[in-house]
Structure 1
Amino acid sequence: MTFRHHLGQMALRTLAEFPEESVPEIYVVTFHVDSVDQDPRYPYLAIGYNTETEVARLLAETGETEPWEARWNYAYFPPSGLEGIRIVGHHPDHDPVGADLHRREAIAQGLWYEDEDDLSEEEQDGRDEQLAEQFDELCVGLARQLHADGELVGVLGRPLPVILYNMFDPDKMFALTRAANPPELVTEFLGEDPEAQQQA
């Protein structure tokens, strides 16, 4: 099994674990891209969701939070949206199978290294960058596959956006989310994209 295939299987399992009572209120599937101890050799994906009820609660309680922020900014998300329902990827504690697959593939590609290896800082940075970019691409591809295969509609009953929050580089979230979704699903989210606003 490839690491990509493993991520796909785990994503489907995670969608099936979304609480049935929350499904009618879910408006977004969240992909929180992060790494263990901020080390790009150990990237993982926390898959979760947020609900209309949670947004309404937040707006009512704070009174000052902007609607877009309450709805789309991961800083305001509850655990189901930020920490996710399940963590998949190179996280030995949460996904040992994924950790082994990712490490094996990174070794085969010549990207893996150990701390004691005789690599320069520049060489380490180069490998880190490639590993991070590859994982971004995998997560974007996974979201696109969930759309294309009808898995999101099959579980949630309707097409919903998958929003990618990249903790390696938070500024990437708009570009990654745009690449991962049909345009009509992310119009509101992308309304705050600084790059798009500059082009307008």
Structure 2
Amino acid sequence: MTDRRDTFAEHLARAATGVLERFPAGLRPEIYALSFRIWRVDGDERRPYVAIGYNTETQYAAERRPEDPGEARWNYACWLLDGFETLGSVPEDPVGSALHQEEARAAGLWFEDPDEEGDGGGGFADDEIDVKSDLLRSHFYDTCVGLARTLHAEGHIERLLGRPLPVVVFDMDCPGWEVEATEAANPPGLIREFLAWQRAQQAT
């Protein structure tokens, strides 16, 4: 027995499994894809979070257009986006908030904002803050992609939702990145349809 604390990634995996368990039972047969919507509180890269949700066949049918049915199916702008649980550096996840800050500090990525009252600026110039912000974003991106891979590898998605489902990872502040992120987050067979539509869009 040890008293070792979870890492931030381990906490997210444990908490995300709980989120999946709380998906409405009646909707589970309708879910065809999971969504990892990445955002940040007040645009602050020190306070990132991921909203773990899904899209359903009913939502797809409501948004579908004959001229491009793939857009409604795979473009997150057409998906259900609101009302999902959030994990990361948000008040709703105090454990995750503490672990994220602790790991960011240990990695030398944390900074104090000179515009925040009472912190004295932390000794960081604006260009240093920009660099650290970019690194914090990349770190959280990698963590969310890793989270999806863990949920697949440990069988949580199949166990809780009855079958393997693709996880579409996206950040509305970084359009286009969802292709790279989703490809990295999933086994190839699960995202053939997603990638085919994305590549067709890029070719037009």
**Structure 1-normalised TM-score?**
0.89
What is the CA distance between 1:196 and its match in structure 2?
Answer: 9.5
What is the CA distance between 1:158 and its match in structure 2?
Answer: 0.8
Encode CA deviations 1:154-199: one digit per residue, 9 max, x unaligned.
011111100001234222100000000011111111123359956x
SS of residue matched to 1:18: coil
The 1-side partners of 2:100 and 2:112 are apart by 14
List runs of 5+ in structure 2 lacking aligned partners. Answer: 1-5, 114-120
Question: Residue 54 of structure 2 corresponds to which residue in structure 1?
Answer: 49
Encode CA deviations 1:69-107: one digit per residue, 9 max, x unaligned.
1111111112xxx2352100011x211111111111111
How many residues are matched? 191
Larger Rg: 2
Alignment check: 8 A CA contact 2:74 2:197 kept: no
Question: Residue 106 of structure 1 corresponds to which residue in structure 2?
Answer: 104
The 2-side partners of 1:176 and 1:140 are apart by 6
The 1-side partners of 2:108 and 2:200 are apart by 34
The 2-side partners of 1:181 and 1:122 are apart by 35
Question: Would you say 1:180 and 2:179 are equivalent positions?
Answer: no
SS of residue matched to 2:26: coil
SS of residue matched to 1:41: coil
Question: Residue 118 of structure 1 corresponds to which residue in structure 2?
Answer: 123
Matches within 5 A, 1:1-200: 1-59=6-64, 63=65, 66-78=68-80, 82-83=81-82, 85-91=84-90, 93-115=91-113, 116-194=121-199
The 2-side partners of 1:38 and 1:195 are apart by 32
Change (3 A) 1:167 1:39: farther
SS of residue matched to 2:168: strand
SS of residue matched to 1:186: helix
Identity rate, percent: 46
Encode CA deviations 1:109-139: one digit per residue, 9 max, x unaligned.
1111111223122211111111111111111
Alignment check: 8 A CA contact 1:32 1:83 kept: no
